[in-house]
Structure 1
Amino acid sequence: MSVRRKRRKFSNEFKHQLVNLYEAGKPRSEIINEYELTPSTFDRWVRENSQSGSFKTQDNLTPEQKELKALKKRNAQLEMENDILKQAALIFGRKSK
């Protein structure tokens, strides 16, 4: 049985400091071991910092991902409006008889 660690949150300043250490030449494995990080987390921080300089998910989306997100949001809104109109048509259809 594996014991799960409590999820930790890191400030953007801390993330920038670790990425700067890596860019200054400190080995990746040393940083990961010293700060008890997962390799995938550290690699994501490095990638996000190089792409946009931000660690926010929204800032690191590609234009295609942003468009897809907007289209999904619009589709959900239209489906909700369509459902409302269907219900209204049913209600008014019953009242007119």
Structure 2
Amino acid sequence: MAGPKHPRHYDEAFKRQIVQLYENGKPSREIRAEYDIARSTPRRWVRGIRDRRLEMEVDVSGQAAPVFARK
């Protein structure tokens, strides 16, 4: 039973699948209905995964900057 005291736990692959569906244009309400997840869940996962991607991009840019600065 899911609830505030007993939240559901989803693996990372499932979260990425939901985010991919959302980013490909599937409406959030359809995703929520099909996978029986809470209203805020897809939004939170999208934000979290986008933040991680941004952090990785910043990290890669920081590492690449000195290489490009030499040329």
TM-score, normalization by structure 1:
0.47
Give, in whole Å, the separation in 2 of the partners of 1:42 and 1:28. 7
Q: How many residues align?
A: 51
- For residue 7 of structure 1, report the CA deviation from its aligned partner: 2.9
Cα deviation 1:3-44 (Å, max 9, x = unaligned): x63532110010001100110111111001111111112211
Q: What 5-or-longer segments of structure 1 have no aligned partner?
A: 54-58, 60-97
Corresponding residue for residue 48 of structure 1:
48
Corresponding residue for residue 34 of structure 1:
34
Corresponding residue for residue 10 of structure 2:
10
Corresponding residue for residue 23 of structure 2:
23
Question: What RMSD over aligned residues (CA atoms) do the two structures have, in Å?
Answer: 1.8
State how 1:17-96 maps to structure 2 within 5 Å. Answer: 17-53=17-53
Give, in whole Å, the separation in 2 of the partners of 1:25 and 1:41. 17
Give, in whole Å, the separation in 2 of the partners of 1:50 and 1:25. 16
Cα deviation 1:29-87 (Å, max 9, x = unaligned): 1001111111112211010011114xxxxx8xxxxxxxxxxxxxxxxxxxxxxxxxxxx
TM-score, normalization by structure 2:
0.62
Give, in whole Å, the separation in 2 of the partners of 1:18 and 1:50. 13
Larger relative contact order (CA 8 Å, sep ≥ 6): 2
Indicate the SS of the match to 2:40: helix
